[in-house]
Structure 1
């Protein structure tokens, strides 16, 4: 064998021995392990918090479609809308040729999309630990090595919001309404956990679930010190039976959040720190135990 042939053979053997690039694997919240040949370049998101997380991790440009409720950051507003998590437009999603679809575990579209050969990753954060885990999983999916750093910044900002509060805000009994069901944020939800970190007490116990639908009489009996509610729900508060007698209503201890503020508050994702600051501002300005001007500069 000539020297050239030996050299070519050596190169060929080296190439054969070179390890193939490992496939990307991720196990989602439904317990399904999804395998991709590489990090997805075309992503459809059917849950606002997941789209926001993709953008926070620096890969907003990979989103090619989002659900009808996703509206942050500004860059996503120009993307095609593919329905909602519970009623997605399957044909439109297929036409977008996604490498992967991100959705909530509660979405009914997963099976149909998988049957059409589309990769699906189901993730649904409900607690602080879930937000951290989902941040890291999407970071793994996008091959972002410093996703943990972003979570640490969020966690530190929540802590800073808690430290900004005057002592009189501590122990305030809070009712947080998520939407007019009325659905509330319970102690076990990420919103409830934020309230706990802010030193407030949630009138909705963890035993009722993260976001239970309540009988309005439950709220009347609990008689919270402070009510946090979005402007979508606020108009009908006084018409609810017995609510005129609530101490929070009588004392005007009610925080009404704008629609954009409510979005930040109720989405378990990278804007959780902004939500904590909004809740802290509410407590500092409206809690019965805080003197006027109790907000720290």
Structure 2
């Protein structure tokens, strides 16, 4: 009788274990595609810097086996194999790394190609603060990290602290933030624009233009911002743009030029968003805009 009971208990245990194993991990990406894995992925290729940084902030850097050419933080990822970029992923190099899952932007090329080769893809592209928060939660779910939202709570507290460090007068400032060459700006609906709003400054880019619109130089001249924020990669030739030399920001040298490393912090909707807020606040203070 004891042996029969033992066999019954063993059968139940196996059945339960099998059910748990079969359930595995399920995550739905920004395309609405649900990915199912029998277990949390141990070999990950990330093709978006903000996703790379989030994986590492969750304490799971060791699972990364490859990254895109732009992922450079934390320092650990610089030693990993590079597999191209979002617009030109190296499919062969990715496949050779035998990943359990590939993290990439929804707009990235290669999603369908990788899936046709049997590679699991989780496509996510955070553009707003809410997107960034949601992505952190989904990666925490994928990696089975409890309370992944602690990262977001720390970010939120850091941004609030940066905002509180600025005087009330900052709320009257009108700011233009140029994200990349070609005149692409941070709109009010982008995570950068939302951060500007939390800091209390006014974005000259109209909400109707979208999160990252391409802005005509004359639009900026008409808006005549008090302050311009731009990365060192894009600052060359600002004064040569039609009408820009006469704008207040250029006349009074109220331009914050962020280094390449600082720009990386500012344009990535990931764990370093509080640091980005501090950089913006420091910019405002350094230009005497109080």
TM-score when scaled to structure 2? 0.96
Shift in Å at residue 37 of structure 1? 0.6
Contact 1:169 1:284 in 2 (8 A): no
Q: What residue number does 1:108 align with?
A: 109
Aligned-residue RMSD, C-alpha: 1.2
Shift in Å at residue 109 of structure 1? 0.9
Secondary structure of 2:177 counterpart: strand
Q: What residue number does 1:293 align with?
A: none
Q: What residue number does 2:263 align with?
A: 262
Q: What residue number does 1:15 align with?
A: 13
- 4+ residue stretches of structure 1 with deviation over 6 A? none
Contact 1:173 1:226 in 2 (8 A): yes
Contact 1:166 1:284 in 2 (8 A): no
Is residue 99 from structure 1 mapped to residue 100 from structure 2 by the alignment? Answer: yes
Contact 1:184 1:213 in 2 (8 A): yes
CA distance in 2: counterparts of 1:123 and 1:45, whole angstroms: 11
Q: What is the aligned length?
A: 287
CA distance in 1: counterparts of 2:105 and 2:11, whole angstroms: 46
CA distance in 1: counterparts of 2:277 and 2:288, whole angstroms: 15
> Residues 1-297 of structure 1: matches in 2 within 5 Å?
3=1, 5-19=3-17, 20-21=19-20, 22-286=23-287, 288=289, 290=290
TM-score when scaled to structure 1? 0.94
Contact 2:24 2:40 in 1 (8 A): no
**Where does the alignment leave 5 or more consecutive residues of structure 1 unmatched?**
291-297
CA distance in 1: counterparts of 2:154 and 2:127, whole angstroms: 19
Shift in Å at residue 16 of structure 1? 4.8
Contact 2:66 2:94 in 1 (8 A): yes
Shift in Å at residue 17 of structure 1? 4.1
Contact 1:169 1:287 in 2 (8 A): no
Contact 1:265 1:272 in 2 (8 A): yes
CA distance in 1: counterparts of 2:235 and 2:42, whole angstroms: 41
- Residues 107-144 of structure 1 deviation map (CA, whole Å, 9 limit, x = unaligned): 12110100000000001111111111001000000001
**Where does the alignment leave 5 or more consecutive residues of structure 2 unmatched?**
none
